[in-house]
Amino acid sequence: MLYSGLEILAGDDEATKRWKARTVTDLIRLRDALRQANQPGLPSRAPDPDKRRLRIATWNLREFDSGRYGYRLPEAIYYIAEVISAFDLVALQEVRADLEAFNRLLGTLGPAWKAVMTDSDTSTSAHGERMVFLFNSTRVQFQGTAGEVTLSDGDRLFLPDSVDLAIRGGIEIELPDGTDLTEPAKILSEKRADGGYNIDPAALVDLPAGTKIVLPQGIQLAFKGAADEFAYDVVNGRIANKRLDLKTGKTRKFSEPVRLRWPSNMLELGSQQFARTPFIVYFQSDWMKLALCTVHIFYGSNAEGSPEMARRTAEIRALTRSLAKRASAEGNSDSDSYFMVLGDFNIKSREHGTMAALEDNGFVVPPLIREIPAGTNVKRDMYYDQMAFWMGQGATSPHTHLSVSDAGVFDVFKHVFREGDDDPAGEDEAYFRRRMKDVKREYGDYREWRTHQISDHLPMWVEIETDFADAYLTALKGG
């Protein structure tokens, strides 16, 4: 950590002197908390002469950074950096396209800290987010392999909205006589700032059998089958002289090998992939090779039975299935690593189907994480953030083994931007209301505001052993 920016200089005005002094006081309190080895939820900082351990964390930094409640104050960057520095390797979610705040964070962490990240995702559902790994290069080495995880062939998300036909200028349909459309309970959802409404993407209307659609220019008939498949089925005609007779008439019926071919600009296939593309990076610490995949799974809605919940569950299951194939691949050097998924999975509860999907395909959430008594959101009642290791067949190494020695969730708001029992005199809120006047900003809800300065998620972490030299040397000795 580099703290030189907190030095009070001769030219500082009174407001600057106040925030610097306050930040120093808060950092001392935060550091004291982080070095308490036996306090629940805190990573151990005590040296262990017999074991070397790697501390891995995941943290969704809410809209890092956006001006929704004002961009991050300098003290918020220091607090976030102090927490990150307690670990060795951290997966970050919701880092935005603009890296100004991230670069301030990286600079505060100091030269030993490095980053590997994706470009900002430009898809509508990704909100311009990046997937990021921060790591302390004195403890962790980047192995040189990184990539985004995309789905192919049978792994794609073939959900109800996987293939939509979008016709420019709108759709014209003709209903069978005596039929009508039954409207869903809700078509319009949230009201926009401009006074209009966003259409609820979950709104679906069943079309009665026999509905006809007027096709636009550019649609073609495509023939996929063998010639004999058409022999008696095309407009009651036959294939003669190796040419297909399409006959005449206003109404024609074709057999299954005949398809409608749509121009690519009329097909929407986005939901066959992840809403935000997962990012896998290969690291090594001491003897441990790790393939870490960080994710921010689609949220949408918490309503059971909704298309959004179905998509969320399907994304989690598709991810573990795809990674399990990599982890078990023979002849692939990357499969020598221990595979781990970590990030914001939007798990509804430990008993929910979203958690079951995470533990499909050989992935297991370590018992020490399952035993954490509360969630990872600020209210501690949601279990969105998770970590899981692949424990399928072959998930071993001749010289190493996966040993989780500790795990927890660190509640940063017990030490900075405090409220309630953690700040009974209301000192923090009163100070930062004064701070807002200094920077000419306003906010109404202190509890909400602080989540835009730090986050509405808390960091989850796990500690694993990395030094297996004694076991290896003992094996060489023959006992």
Domain-located, residue 217: no
E-strand spans in 34-129? 53-64, 89-95, 113-117
CA 305 to chain centre: 22
* Crossing angle (nearest 10°) for helices 14-34 and 427-438: 140
Domain-located, residue 70: yes
Do residues 301 and 309 touch, judged by C-beta distance below 8 A?
yes
Helix (H) or strand (E) holding 390: strand 385-390
Q: Which domain holds residue 444?
A: 12-157+271-477
> Coil, helix or strand for 326?
helix
Q: Name the domain count of the chain.
A: 1
pLDDT in tens, 264-273: 778 766 567 8
Domain-located, residue 441: yes
What's the confidence (pLDDT) of residue 103?
97
* CA atoms in the 13 A half-sphere facing the CB of 268: 11
CATH number of the domain enclosing 147: 3.60.10.10
What's the confidence (pLDDT) of residue 240?
46
What's the confidence (pLDDT) of residue 470?
86
Query: In the beta sheet, which residues pair with residue 135?
Result: 89, 114
Helix (H) or strand (E) holding 35: none
pLDDT in tens, 254-302: 777 788 888 877 876 656 788 899 999 999 999 999 999 999 999 988 8
Domain-located, residue 304: yes
E-strand spans in 195-349? 197-199, 212-213, 220-223, 258-261, 267-268, 279-285, 288-296, 338-344
What's the confidence (pLDDT) of residue 387?
98
Sites in the chain below the pLDDT cut of 50: 38, 46, 232-241
**Which residues have C-beta within 8 Å of that of residue 103, sequence separation ≥ 6?**
none
b/e sequence 281-319, b meaning 16+ C-beta within 10 Å: bbbebbbbbbbbbbbbbbbbeeeeeebbbbbbbbbbbbb
* Crossing angle (nearest 10°) for helices 74-84 and 100-109: 50
Domain-located, residue 200: no
The 3-class SS string of 174-213 reads: ECCCCCCCCCCCCCEEEECCCCCEEECCCCCCCCCCCCEE
pTM: 0.81
Q: What is the DSSP letter of 240?
A: B
What's the confidence (pLDDT) of residue 233?
45
What's the confidence (pLDDT) of residue 449?
92
What's the confidence (pLDDT) of residue 247?
73
Pairwise CA distance, residues 60 & 377, whole Å: 10
Domain-located, residue 95: yes
Sign of CA dihedral 23, 24, 25, 28: positive
Domain-located, residue 47: yes
Domain-located, residue 335: yes
What's the confidence (pLDDT) of residue 268?
67
